[in-house]
Amino acid sequence: MSLLIQQNEVNGMVEKPNCLFKPSGGALACMLNSEIGAVLAVMRRNVRWGVQYASDDEQIEHSLIISFKELRKKIFSWKNHWHTIDPVLYLQPFLEVIKSDETGAPITGVALSSVYKILNLEILDSKTVNVDNALHLIVDAVTSCRFEVTDPASEEVVLMKILQVLLACMKNKASVSLNNHHVCSIVNTCFRIVHQASSKSELLQRISRHTMHELVRCIFSHLPDLDDKQPELAHGNRSSPNVEDDSTANSQSLEEKQNIDYITAESDYRTNETARGKDSTLSADALMMDPYGVPSMVEIFHFLCSLLNVMENIEVGPRSNPIAYHEDVPLFALGLINSAIELGGASFGDHPKLLALIQEELFYNLMQFGLSLSPLILSTVCSIVLNLYHHLRTKLKLQLEAFVSSVLLRIAQSKHGASYQQQEVAMEALIDFCRQPMFVTELYANYDCDISCSNVFEGLANLLSRSAFPVNSPLSAMNTLALDGLIALVQGMAERIGQDSSGSGETSPELEEYKPFWTVKCNDYGEPLHWVPFVHNMKHIKRKLMIGIDHFNRDPKKGLEFLQGLHLLPEKLEARSVACFFRYTAGLDKNLIGEFLGSHDEFCIQVLHEFARTFEFRNMNLDTALRVFLDTFRLPGESQKIQRVLEAFAESYFEQSPDILANKDAALLLSYSIIMLNTDQHNAQVKKKMSEEDFIRNNRKINGGNDLPRDFLSELYQSICENEIRMVPDQGGPGAVLTRSHWIGLTHKAKQTSPFIVCNSGSHLDYDMFTILSGPAIAAISVVFDHAEQEDVLQSCIDGYLAIAKLSASYNLGEVLDHLVVSLCKFTTLLHPSFNEKSILYFGDDIKAKMATVAVFTIANSYGDHIRTGWRNILDCILSLQKIGLLPARLANDATDELESSPDNDQVKASATQSPASQALTNTPSRKSSGIMGRFSLLLSLEEEPAPQPSEEQLAARQRTLQTIQNCHIDSIFAESKFLQAESLSQLVRALVMSAGRPLKGNNSLEDEDTAVFCLELLIAITLNNRDRIMLLWQNVYEHIANVVQSSVMPCTLVEKAVFGLLRICQRLLPYKENLTDELLKSLQLVLKLDARVADAYCEQITQEVMHLVKANAMQIRSHMGWRTIISLLSITARHPEASEAGFETLSYVMSDGAHLSPANYVLCVNAARQFAESRVGQVDRSIKSLDLMAGSVVCLVTWFYQTKEAAGEEAATKMSQDILEMWMRLVQGLRKVCLDQREEIRNHAIMLLQRCLTGVDGIYIPTDLWLQCFDLVIFTLLDELPEMTQQNSPKEIRSMEGTIILSLKLLSKSFLQSLLDLSQSTSFCQLWLRVLGCMEKFMKMRFRGKRSEKIHELVPELLKNTLLVMKNRGILVPSDPVGGDSFWQLTWLHVKNIAPSLQLEVFPSEEVEKLQEKHAKGGCSPLPDGNVLVPPNETTV
């Protein structure tokens, strides 16, 4: 509590100047008068300030009192003209009191308070007369304040008032009038008070430190407003006393009556510049008198950095604590530096001196303190570096690399003896960096794609991944921090998706020949169109180079050969290329480089000299140049090798910096001398150290016979003594410590490195980074997710999974996404073998499992396009849910409900699938479009068998589970499958087929069948949703359905779903896929392969579906093969009691009025109609209708025959005619078969229709040969079979056969007469005629039950007479006298006499016969064509 009170007092004292007001002139006079009175009152309390008596007893007042009284006389006369009054007039008495060493602490304190009050009254501003002089006097007086110390409390009060006044000066509007010297004095005085306060009260310590912070913030807040051309002061060459480093001074003992003099002292900093004379000193003094700006800021910032230099005097080791003595001073200095950087910001980069301080002095100290054992210091250092990255990263490329890789990554990896607290701080700092929008992108572009830098991003990714792995459960804070870092990386990449036009990583062309690339720069580092391809190419080179480096570090010779094979070195090695390889490649073994460069081989010597020429030594001290040179390799131990290396160095240095040295020999000798001095000073085995005089003496007359300047040699000596040249360069090992020598090399390298690439918000390099990060990230997140219990950590893991999924999909990295899905599915617990209905209780309360489940299906819905093998795992999860009834039965149907156009069908399906239990829950809201979502509420009543009532706990757990599954939107996966990419869709279908399995005959469990049915339904739903890409899926779908159909021997749900799913596919796709009509209809042949028991069970439903298919798509079916499949399915139903009606309806639809008859299906339809006619299933009317359909189809034949005339080409017309005649012949043959039906009505109707088909085809020209064939195969065959059928019939049916024979004879007569003209021209006419007569004669003799038929006896002569009359009238039957054989005339009457003897006279009377014979004899011709064979009578009888 006391600390809090003191802190409030501090704030109240230092923040008071912010509460400014501006009173009137009279009020100002009154206030000033009160301050005068206050000072006088305090002074009069002291006897010293009472009246003094002269020798003549005259009273004499002290001059300080007199000045106050004089001021009192004037103040009320100034009134409202205060801005025109010189402030010195009313400030001077107070300042004299402050400067007086006669005044005690109380008086000085009151005077300081008065000055503070005046500063706060806004009397002083930039318009006030002589304000600059007034402020200078105030600063001079306060910084040189003197007073007598009477007691410690009074002293502290005065010190606090001094701080108040100085801060008020800096915050005053007129502070711009202060010069650089006064600002430095203010800072110096405040720091001295801070230092002195260490032995005072805590309140003074806090106030002094707070004031110091406020001063620094106030001063550096003006940096952005300063002109970057403002002259700067070289901080190492000042003659004016400005800022003093008292960090190591002892506190003064304050005795009574002792005066404390706060004055400035000489700075003790060593200069870094050598050639400065009196002119530079004078210019520095002049700059310090200018209005304050950059020069004072340089001085102050350098002073703050110097506070950190105490590190150089502390021994640093892996186990040592370099600041164990005290962390107060470094923390204070770091805090001030951080404040300066926060307010100065990017403006530091506009001023070279300030920037150089940051690049060299500050960053080196930050590196040292970063490796300290104090977590508090490390945290402060990280905050500073983060600010520097934000504002100045373009100027600090290699410094930032060194800090991240050598400090943060090293500490976070628990190297360098870091404690757990340090690791945690380092990890937090890395996470803060990762949260910067483009930090990792800039890491990758600037370091991982630069051959001279290490792979910082890759190291960061590996660190975060490894650190996230918990060593022991539960998770530690480090694991969680690393997880946050990983997720920050991937989420940052995910947020940048789509912010530029770049897709996946650009592929760099393979190197076909060597082209120097070591120092190649990009044309424009500010334009992504230029630098993105450049860094891609450099990364491509670096990847190969890293392999070559590994080979080189094992065997230099083979390594160089390997690099030649990669075209990274020329086929014929050049010294320059090898030198560049050594100089610019990071990761080489520096021992091997040193051995190579020191070798006596001629080529190695050439490489050595080229290597030395790669350095920029201009304007560089010799010791600095040597440090830079030796930092790149390890100097060999042999003297000859050292000689060669230093000769090459000396030659290169002299060429570039010949200012002091006379020749390269001087450079060589001095370099050798420096190496010896370095060994002498820093080798513990050397007891007697070389003095400065010894060093100067050793180097006499080496500069071309002359001595080198003593100052020059002295500076070299001091430099080597203070900072060792490390002969063993830092290899980046775990215990490596960055020395001053190494840092000098790094800062030199930073001046030559490529510019820092500032990345915009685009995702130009995210693909490459993600390929590096994805695998380790998935593994790390999975391990954390497995061990985590806190919900916030689990949610972070899920966020990481989703971000990785988004990136994988965006960059088309299917393997990564599959890996992610596989990893995530394991946490759903759905794949566990023991997952069953009892598991629902655990699942409902398992937050991890529920989050993983929702995440899996979110990924499947959002990024299914890019999932490949992962579909198998997703389906396994779905099947687990389905097995325990957590998915609705209509899931697959819901996936295609949107395709249904008929609302009636929807109602039928809904009612058919709604169970009584679900009907009781009709009030539950549902949406058809969402499918699965609207039906989850029905799942609580899925129990079919009586079961114990679940407890409330079980119901609640089940409800939670259902809610989780509802949030998964599983139905959308299949409903939206039409949007999946082709490859993903194919993999999904394959996964479904694999999940369904291959059921074996008679060896299926109920559970396996349910799974197979479910998968089959999903398969069909996906097929229907992807009708535009059916060929992509069809092969797999068809093979699976075929396997189900052919392996089923008994009716079951699986085969039912397969068959009707196949029919449904055909129904849906036929209207849209004309090119696939045959393929789809061919698939229906599977139905014909069904086992008889299976086919019988589903025949009616199958026929119904076929009917719907035909009615909807008859126009699309054009091929013979397609119709053959359809008609085959219909034909089967002809003898099926339940299916025949639908089958006949379908056939009637096709054949009625020839609506859909075509040459492709005519014969098939006729045969099917015949089967329906012959079938005794159903009423006789159906057979009659079937016969009518057959007979009615003749109209189509006639129509098609007319169309042959329009056929293109005679050959095509002939072919069409032949096909039509063939169809006609098939028709009459089919009718002939029905004419033998046992049912009289059917039989007789068939004969009548046959007669119609034979005699009613006037539109079709039937050739003679076809008529003869028709008589032979149809009519005569029918007449031959009827008597046999009569004998086989029962006595009751014989009478009905009489009418059938009569109709057959009429058919014979009319058909003969119909084709008489054509037949009479045939050479076979006589045989045909005699066969007709034989048939009539046979039926005249035929007896029914022993009696002849009177009707037939009456009918046959009549038919014969009519036929003979027609033949007579047409001149076919005429008398003739044959020579050498029986004539047609004689044979005819020979047969006629056997039938009806009197017919000859009735048809041909005697006188008419004689006339015809005479006429015939004169003509000498026969009515029959040549070639007719007359058959003897005994061979023509039947």
What amino acid positions are annotated as catalytic residues? 638
d(C-alpha 185, C-alpha 191), whole Å: 10
Write out the two tokens for 791.
Answer: 């919900």
Q: Are 1330 and 1391 in contact (CB under 8 A)?
A: yes
Specify whether the CB–CB gap between 1136 and 1106 falls below 8 A. no
How far apart are alpha carbons 743 and 364 in whole angstroms? Answer: 7
Residue pair 178/219 in contact (Cβ under 8 Å)? The answer is: no
Q: Are 797 and 781 in contact (CB under 8 A)?
A: yes
Q: What is the CA radius of gyration of the chain?
A: 57
Task: Compute the distance between CA of residue 525 and CA of residue 754 in angstroms, rounded to an integer.
Answer: 9
Beta bridge partners of 1343: 1348
Chain centroid to CA 582? 39
Look at residue 1304 and give its three-state secondary structure. Answer: helix
* Full DSSP string of 125-192: -TTSTTHHHHHHHHHHHHHT---B---HHHHHHHHHHHHHHHHHHHHSGGGGG-BHHHHHHHHHHHHH
DSSP state of 1344: E
- % helix / strand / coil in the chain, to the nearest 5? 70, 0, 30
In angstroms, the CA 935 to CA 1194 distance is 56
Torsion angle of the four alpha carbons 557, 562, 563, 567, in this order, in degrees rounded to the nearest 10 = 140
Instruction: Please check whether residue 1080 is in contact with residue 1038, taking contact to mean a CB–CB distance below 8 angstroms.
Output: no
Length of the chain equals 1438
List, as one string, the DSSP characters of 421-473: HHHHHHHHHHHHHHTSTTHHHHHIIIIIT-TTS--HHHHHHHHHHHHHS-SSS
559 with 552: CB under 8 angstroms?
yes
The residues, ordered by sequence, that sit 6+ positions from 559 with a Cβ below 8 Å of its Cβ are: 548, 549, 550, 551, 552, 553
How many Å apart are CA 203 and CA 156, to the nearest integer?
A: 9
Full 3-state SS string of 377-416:
HHHHHHHHHHHHHHHHHHHCHHHHHHHHHHHHHHHHCCCC
Distance from C-alpha of 1289 to C-alpha of 1372, rounded to nearest angstrom: 40
Q: How many CB atoms lie within 10 A of CB 551?
A: 17
Q: Please give the Cα distance from 751 to 748 (Å, whole number).
A: 5
Say how many C-beta atoms besides its own lie within 10 A of residue 437's C-beta: 13
Of the CA atoms within 13 Å of residue 189, those in its CB half-sphere come to: 28
Give the single-character DSSP code of 1376.
-
Calculate the alpha carbon distances from 1384 to 75, 1267, 1310, 1329, 1420 in Å: 170, 21, 21, 10, 15
CB proximity list for 1208: less than 8 A, separation 6 or greater: none
**Residue 1236 corresponds to which tokens in the numbers above?**
């033998």
What is the CA angle 938-941-942, rounded to 5?
Answer: 90
Q: Residue 402: name the closest of 678, 772, 770, 753 by CA.
A: 753
Return d(Cα 1385, Cα 1263) in angstroms, integer.
26
Between CA 7 and CA 204 the distance in angstroms is 10
CB atoms within 10 A of CB 15: 12
Question: Residue 171 CB: number of other CB atoms within 10 A?
Answer: 17
* Cβ atoms 35, 117 nearer than 8 A: yes
